[in-house]
Amino acid sequence: MPIILHFILLAVSPLIGPLIGTFVGIYCYSYFYTNFGICNIDPVKSDNYDLCTIIIFSFIFLGFIMGALIPIWILKYLLYARCPKCGSKTIISNFKPITYKCTKCGHSCLTPISLSPE
């Protein structure tokens, strides 16, 4: 993938990933609730409400965390930016400004964004 596309995905995924992960966590909870009866609360007994609240929030929290971590992991270890000269994979070598460096030919490609404070 081109460096600019990789860079945009790397910048947007920490913002969009947790939101999508939260919705996936809510969907997983509703799936387990309808198919397996997790937190099937009897209105007469109020002892189950605390356990169900913990289960609901654990699904949402795990979805949030996994939505934040999985896209970064995929972009870092599975989908590489390609060198514009030779086409091999590049890695981020510097953060001021963000620089992609080719692992084969050593070509460096600068981006206009800097992650470190000046």
What is the tally of structural domains in the chain?
2
My answer on whether 65 and 91 are in the same domain is: no
The predicted structure's pLDDT at residue 60: 87
- Same domain, yes or no: 91 and 116: yes
Q: Are 107 and 99 in contact (CB under 8 A)?
A: no
Residues 27 and 66 in one domain: yes
Determine the structural domain holding residue 51 and report its residue range.
3-79
Which pLDDT does position 38 carry in this prediction?
67
**pLDDT tens string 51-74:** 777 778 888 899 899 988 888 888
Query: What is the per-residue pLDDT for 117?
Result: 53
Q: Is the Cβ–Cβ distance between 89 and 78 less than 8 Å?
A: no
Distance, CA of 13 to CA of 17 (rounded, Å): 5
Q: Residue 36 pLDDT more than 80?
A: no
Q: Give me 79's structure tokens.
A: 């989908």
Mean pLDDT, range 86-96, rounded to an integer:
82
The answer to whether residues 45 and 95 belong to one domain is: no
| Predicted pLDDT at 40 | 62
Predicted confidence at residue 45, as pLDDT, reads 59
Same structural domain, 40 and 91? no
Amino acid identity, residue 105? C
